[in-house]
Amino acid sequence: MASDDPPIVTSPRIVRFADLASTDLHRDTIYEGGTAGHYGDEPIHHMLPVGNQGGIRYAGPADRCRLVVLFSILDHQDWPDHIDEVTGVVTYYGDNRDGARAALDQKGNRAVREIFRRGFATREARAECPPFLLFTRADEPGLPKRSQRFRGLAVPGAIGVPPEDWLVMKWFETPSGRFENYQLTLTLLNAPTVPRRWIDDVLAGRTASAHCPPQYAKWVREGLR
């Protein structure tokens, strides 16, 4: 994890569907899906003002979004997303897998291009960067079908990876065909909780509020170290 502190061990727990709108986000916690049998069962959009489909979701306009949610099932052959559980480095693939479409036809890809285009070299630039929140599918027995696990608060880049490689457009050859897509590199911070109050502040344009997780505030001041 990107922190000087020792890892914080958390026990998986479950937040019930009825409590999603008011909950904080706790790392490695499962957020229960609904049972109506449609996309409204998906928990992310009950917690955050983003859509209920797609891998890259964001709040606000694409050219100046307030926060970004990344969702992965972690086992799709065309999107081989990966989380390094030791370093916290995340390799995440953009929203395209259609050879008949350009990668930037996908609005999620356009949003991340704009974020990475602005860069993160200065404190001011990092302060303007929207937080990334990573979720994955939770398919443990007994859970509703669309339940999801919050994997943590992430920031662009990784130690030891050149900034020009943090967002790369690549061609991919898969059994589904050939297509162009983004590959993103991010790092999970060692933040056990993302407070609801901070999420509200971020959406209001106050990222550096008193409710900001200290790990994120440190990244804004110093970058990845």
Q: Count of residues for the chain? A: 225
Is residue 130 within 8 Å of 202, Cβ to Cβ?
Answer: yes
113: exposed, middle or buried (Cβ count in 10 Å: 0-12, 13-18, 19+): middle
Residue 9 has pLDDT above 80, yes or no: no
Q: Collapse the DSSP code of 173 into the 3-class scheme (helix H, G, I; strand E, B; otherwise coil) and give the result.
A: strand
Q: What is the pLDDT of residue 62?
A: 86
Q: What is the DSSP string of 18-82?
A: GGGGGPPEETT-EE---SSSSGGG-SHHHHSSS-SSSSEEEES-GGG-SEEEEEE-S-BTTB--E
**Which residues, including other chains, have CB under 8 Å from residue 85's CB and lie 6 or more apart?**
none
Is residue 3 within 8 Å of 154, Cβ to Cβ?
Answer: no
Share of the chain above pLDDT 70, in %: 95
Per-residue pLDDT of 11-56, as tens digits, reads 469 999 999 999 999 999 999 999 999 989 999 999 999 988 889 9
Q: What is the pLDDT of residue 174?
A: 79
Measured over the CA atoms of residue 193, residue 43, residue 199 and residue 151, the dihedral's sign is positive
Q: Which amino acid belongs to residue 48? A: L
Q: What is the pLDDT of residue 105?
A: 92
Is residue 36 within 8 Å of 44, Cβ to Cβ?
Answer: no
Tokens of 220: 């804004």
Residue with tokens 């170290």: 225
The pTM (predicted TM-score) of the whole model is 0.92
Residue 156 has pLDDT above 50, yes or no: yes
Is residue 177 within 8 Å of 12, Cβ to Cβ?
Answer: no
Mean pLDDT value across residues 59-65: 91
